Structures are given as C-alpha cells and as structure tokens.
Structure 1
Amino acid sequence: MLIGELSGRTGVSQRMLRYYEEQGLLTARRDANGYRRYDEESVATVRHIRKLLDLGLSTEVIAEVLPCTMEDLDRLDLCPTLVKTLRAEVAELDARIDTLRRNRGALAGYLPVV
C-alpha cells in the first residue's frame, strides 16, 4: 500500500510515517518512481508504535521494544533486555513523578488556605 493508504488506515499523518521510517521504526520498499510501498504488517507496526508512544516511550526505546511486540497490542514478549529497558523507564517515570509532587507541593504552599 502507498503511504496515503497507510495514513488513512492508521490515522497517522504521512509526515509522521516518514519520521518513523527515518527513526528505523517502520520500513518501506521503494517503487521505481520512488514511491514508498508498505506491506500489510505495517498497519500493526504503526499501531504498536502509537501505543508505545502513548506510554511515554521515546522513539529510541521503541526501536528496542518494537521487535518484542506481539499481535496483541497489550502484550510484549519479555526478553531479558526488554525487561531491563522497561525497568529503567519505570524508574525514570517514578523519579519524574516524585519531582512533580515536590514541585506541586511547593507551588501549593504559596496559595492561601481556603
């Protein structure tokens, strides 16, 4: 399928699909005229990418995680390197949440008590 069809089927802009390709997350064949051609699996791949982005993962982490995705968007094949990566991501999120809580408390401290 051409990029326009993949965009229509996934709801992801053509520009983003080209970005995913630049990041090594999505592959396409090239026709003689230079047009990108995607296979049927690309629809599932784009859905996986979107799901992982929604979880807050960077494209660098997604490149590592993507080969471990299953047909089911809610499951991953937990290979050892993936477990290590996901644990590091969870630890980073925990640290960010702690910082946000501290910042919220400090800001709330400036507000009058009602």
Structure 2
Amino acid sequence: MRIGELARRAGVSERALRYYEEQGLLAPERRPSGYRVYRAEDVALVGRIRVLLAAGLSTAQIVEVLPCIVDDGGLLTPDCPELVDGLVQQRDRIDEAIGELAATRTNLDSIITSRRRPG
C-alpha cells in the first residue's frame, strides 16, 4: 500500500509516517519511481509506535525496544527480559518529573491564593 492508504488506515498523517521512516522506525520498500510501498503489517507497527510514543519513549528509545515488543491481544508486552529494566527506569523518570510539576503547581497555587487575599 502507498503512504496515503497507510496514513488513513493507521490514523496518522503522511508527515508522521515520513518522520517515523527518518527515525528508523519504518522501512518501506521504495519503487524506482520513489514511491514508498508499505506492508499490511505496517498498520499494526505504526500502532505500536504510537503507543510507545504516548508512553513517553523517544523515537531513539523506540528503535531499540521495538524488536522486543509484541502485541499480545491488543496489549504491548516486552519479550526481552532486559527491556523491562529500561522501561522501569523510564517510568521512574516520569514519576520524578510528575513530582517536580506537582511542586511547581503547588508554588503557583500559593502565589495565586496570596494575590486573592484582601490587602
């Protein structure tokens, strides 16, 4: 299938598909005319990429983990034991960032509340 059909079937833009290719996440066949040709399996692959991006992984991280991720009835599951440790580290970084953002919000709330007090 060509890029427009994959974009429609996967629910992403053609630009996103080109970006995924630039990052090494997709490897379509190229016709002599330059047109990209995708496999039917690439629809599911794009879905896995989108889930991993939504989970906070960078495209560089996804390139590394994608070969070890399997779709188990709609749930992505790590198939390589060493992958879990890296995912736990990523989750810990996200938890830390959430804590920092919560502290920032608390500080902002204090500023907002102090402004509303009659002077």
- Which TM-score applies when normalising by structure 2? 0.87
Query: Structure 2 stretches of 5 or more lacking a match?
Result: none
C-alpha separation between the residues in 2 aligned to 1:110 and 1:78? 48
**Which residue pairs with 2:85 in the alignment?**
84
Return the offset for 1:77: 2.6
Q: Deviations over 1:46-72 (max 9, x none)?
A: 000111111121111111221122233
RMSD: 1.6
Runs of 4+ in 1 over 6 A off after TM superposition: none
Decide which structure has greater strand share: 2
What is the aligned length? Answer: 114
Q: Deviations over 1:16-71 (max 9, x none)?
A: 10100010111101111111011111011000011111112111111122112223
1:70 to 2:70 alignment: yes
Return the offset for 1:7: 0.7
**Which residue pairs with 1:33 in the alignment?**
33
Query: Structure 1 stretches of 5 or more lacking a match?
Result: none
Return the offset for 1:90: 0.8
SS at match of 2:112: coil
C-alpha separation between the residues in 2 aligned to 1:76 and 1:110? 44
Return the offset for 1:101: 1.4
Q: Deviations over 1:89-110 (max 9, x none)?
A: 0110111011011111111111
Contact kept? 1:25, 1:63, Cα under 8 Å: yes
Letter in 1 for 2:53: L
C-alpha separation between the residues in 2 aligned to 1:23 and 1:75? 21
C-alpha separation between the residues in 2 aligned to 1:70 and 1:78? 6
Identical counterparts, % of pairs:
47
Contact kept? 1:64, 1:82, Cα under 8 Å: no
Q: Which structure: larger Rg?
A: 2
**Which residue pairs with 1:42 in the alignment?**
42
